[in-house]
């Protein structure tokens, strides 16, 4: 008997919250330019990624209300994406 593993990702990201943060960072040109500049200035790690996002959004949440303090957000994956872009 074969068991099927349920896909728990969201659009290729670990979850909706993580996807949402990068969606806004990547799709808003001023935010994109901001985080790219900041990423170039430092070695982006999980805690840096959260710090950059907090600075970029300025409100502690994405424009559609996802809290940047949510324990669901995978900051390590966001840092990886920031380094790749």
Average pLDDT, the chain: 89
Check if the beta carbon of residue 41 is closer than 8 Å to that of residue 52. no
Q: Is 60 left (phi over 0), alpha (psi -120 to 50) or beta?
A: left
Q: Name beta bridge partners: 40.
A: none
**Token reading at 19:** 């996807």
In this structure, what are the phi and psi dihedrals at residue 21, rounded to the nearest 5 degrees? -60, -50
pLDDT tens, position by position, 37-49:
888 887 888 889 9
Q: Is the pLDDT of residue 5 over 70?
A: no
What mean pLDDT comes out for the span 55-62? 94
Burial (0-12, 13-18, 19+ Cβ within 10 Å), 46: middle
Q: Is the pLDDT of residue 3 over 70?
A: no
pTM, whole model, 2 decimals?
0.83
Q: Is 61 left (phi over 0), alpha (psi -120 to 50) or beta?
A: beta
């Amino acid at each position: 008997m074969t068991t099927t593993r349920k896909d728990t990702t969201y659009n290729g990201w670990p979850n909706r919250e993580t996807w949402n943060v990068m969606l806004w960072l990547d799709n808003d040109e001023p935010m994109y330019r901001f985080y790219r500049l900041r990423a170039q200035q430092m070695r982006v790690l999980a805690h840096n990624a959260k710090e950059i996002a907090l600075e970029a959004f300025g409100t502690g949440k994405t424009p559609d209300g996802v809290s940047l303090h949510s324990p669901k957000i995978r900051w390590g994956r966001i840092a990886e994406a920031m380094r790749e872009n």
